[in-house]
Amino acid sequence: MVNDAVIANLRAAAEADHGLADPRSSERVPCPCELMVRWLHAPECPTRYEILDVGNGGFRIRHTLPVLEGMVGVAVKLLPTGEAINRCVRVVWVDRPVGHEPGEAGLEYI
């Protein structure tokens, strides 16, 4: 099941030291689920994002609301399973949407 691979990557990330590893060198796993994030600038407004793929270093998400490089928050859980994550994340790159198309962003674990 895809969620099993996602959870395995999340657990591996929790056990690894990501300060020295290049997140692009880890295997990316497609993930047909959503991620709930509580951004530190607005913790009372959790935001849902479609996950495109996940690796040991973090997530690649699709966004329709503005996301800025450097934003920090807590990845709370995966939806629809409700699997708790509770990992701090930071936006490290943003592909701005064109017109009404959604954009993509990279979240790394911190």
Residues 22-74 have pLDDT tens digits of: 555 567 888 889 999 999 999 999 999 999 999 888 999 999 888 999 999 99
pLDDT band with cut points at 50, 70 and 90 for residue 85: very high
Distance, C-alpha 38 to centroid of its chain? 12
Domains located in the chain, CATH noted: 2-109 (2.40.10.220)
Q: What is the pTM of this model?
A: 0.75
Alpha-carbon dihedral sign for residues 104, 71, 92, 78: negative
Asked if 16 contacts 56 with a C-beta cutoff of 8 angstroms, the reply is yes
Tokens of 31: 């993930």
What average pLDDT does this structure show over 77-85?
93
pLDDT for position 12: 57
